[in-house]
Structure 1
């Protein structure tokens, strides 16, 4: 915004110069005319003086002619370089009035027809949407596309973040209805039911966690929830077992790891205080190298004129066979394209859904002008690949985003 006003000020000074320079030049020309008139008057006086001296016989004819020639040479020297007489002149007041009116009229017209608000907006830094804005977008998305399991799932997540567990239960129920009874979805649904029921265990919660663990014995949400239920039911050995299985899957840098370890230690203390023997501490799992999928994202030439540099670009990997939610994702903008990114477990959107937990994944890149990760204008999809793929993957955004 500051750069705009500096440029506008320089242009204004240039416009004033066109008006004021003629005025200044006019004053200079007037001064030259006045000096020329004075020199002519002095020349005439000199001639009259010479003629008077000749009439009084003070000068001879030869001296008179010599004096007249000298006076003529002096007049020529004094008037040399002076321009001819001006035919017309600008009034003194008109240019000055115009110079004052230029900035005033120009500013008024700009405020009326200009784009100061748009220019100010261009200088504003983009901001992340608030929780309320994200919720409104997702609610509008599921209303427009009620069969989008991805949108229902993220809506459930955001409801849980807002302590709206009853609403989250409904959202997860819809996601399960559309995407199927994937263990990860069942675990999230059970957790929402637990909090919606005032942290009270129920048969429906037990049925969901049991089904999830039968399909995937390491489903982390169900393990954590069963550990909580066992601890509150004073079944401390069971709680330790569930939580140790959970910790074994958590990366060392996971912030939730410390709280789970604290729960295990409290359960051990309760067992020892009751005279029971606590289970042995589980061995720390060997740290494995984190595999990353490298992908180069490009934009099709046919779409170059249809997108804007500030449009959001979401690059993510999701299970080729499993829940529709992204396993790992990164957010960029159209201005960054083409770009090479890496997706790994460190980019997981939630601990229970990781790249390493699925044998095959599909790479997807979506452009969304509204900043909505679940729906946009343009999309590119890759073929299923192994989650351990090492070679660089190519992904081109080249088609309209119709499948929500």
Structure 2
């Protein structure tokens, strides 16, 4: 927060300097105050008073701005130009005085009133996962999902819309709702391998993270449509391994391994799984030969 205010103050001073430089470039000839000058400053004093009443300036800020404006009025009175004479500096000096006083005096109160200082602190706080338990979802996301549900009620054959809703609910860990949406999506789009795999994953979460049964059937269907679908290969291999079908698990993992970069972490994980499957398969072989 301290760094923010330091940067903000530096930028404010830079802005004031840039604005004042062309305004003060020319000097006015010595003269006395004019009615026009008095009117301008009277308006500035009135604006300061209004800002105080509106809460934009507190009492110390108001007194400081007022004193600065009075000082500028005295300086301009010594250097003013008569209305009938040259206009070689009077308007610029008045504007410079107003900018010099009002910009610093009003910048901070206006920011505190209309800005969001708390965002700096909030940005530094650890962000919780709003979907960790399926609840506490930001209002804008919930509104989008509700709008999507309403559109799907009007057009229940929108398979892409159902798929979008299903995947969003999966991200939010709302697996019951995700499965219902996937059912509608697959009804309309039955031959999308990725959709079938995502549907299987949502079902597996409801099935105590098990691929047995319908989740594996969905993955098998996805592999029939696309034998090289990497996620389907991984899930099908894991399902085969869990039911001790090591031969199928090895075949699927070997197919998957050919699709992965050799030095990747995923390839290393598959190789470890293959080692386990081959070891268990070898351990079963003597028993099978004895029978």
TM-score of the superposition, structure 2-length normalised? Answer: 0.51
Q: Partners of 2:144 and 2:269 in 1: how far apart? A: 31
Q: Which has the higher strand share?
A: 1
Q: Partners of 1:95 and 1:243 in 2: how far apart? A: 83
In structure 2, which of residues 213, 218, 224 is the aligned counterpart of residue 208 of structure 1?
Answer: 218
Residue-pair matches, total: 204
Q: In the alignment, which residue of structure 1 is the partner of 2:273?
A: 263
In structure 1, which of residues 188, 194, 207 is the aligned counterpart of residue 198 of structure 2?
Answer: 188
In structure 1, which of residues 214, 218, 224 is the aligned counterpart of residue 234 of structure 2?
Answer: 224
Shift in alpha-carbon separation, 1:173–1:138, aligned structure 2, 3 A: farther
Secondary structure at the aligned position of 1:274 is classed as: helix
Shift in alpha-carbon separation, 1:231–1:153, aligned structure 2, 3 A: same
In structure 2, which of residues 157, 163, 179 is the aligned counterpart of residue 153 of structure 1?
Answer: 163
Shift in alpha-carbon separation, 1:275–1:239, aligned structure 2, 3 A: same
Q: Partners of 1:264 and 1:186 in 2: how far apart? A: 25
Runs of 5+ consecutive residues of structure 1 not aligned to the other structure: 27-85, 121-129, 278-404
Shift in alpha-carbon separation, 1:263–1:160, aligned structure 2, 3 A: farther
CA shift at 1:163, angstroms? Answer: 4.5
CA shift at 1:198, angstroms? Answer: 0.4
> Larger Rg: 1 or 2?
1
In structure 1, which of residues 142, 148, 151 is the aligned counterpart of residue 148 of structure 2?
Answer: 142
Shift in alpha-carbon separation, 1:9–1:242, aligned structure 2, 3 A: same
Q: Partners of 2:165 and 2:141 in 1: how far apart? A: 7
Runs of 5+ consecutive residues of structure 2 not aligned to the other structure: 1-6, 39-66, 76-96, 118-127, 131-137
TM-score of the superposition, structure 1-length normalised? Answer: 0.39
CA shift at 1:267, angstroms? Answer: 0.9
Q: Partners of 1:172 and 1:190 in 2: how far apart? A: 9
Q: Partners of 2:163 and 2:18 in 1: how far apart? A: 55
Q: Partners of 2:150 and 2:105 in 1: how far apart? A: 44
CA shift at 1:256, angstroms? Answer: 2.5
Whether 1:98 and 2:104 are equivalent positions in the alignment is no
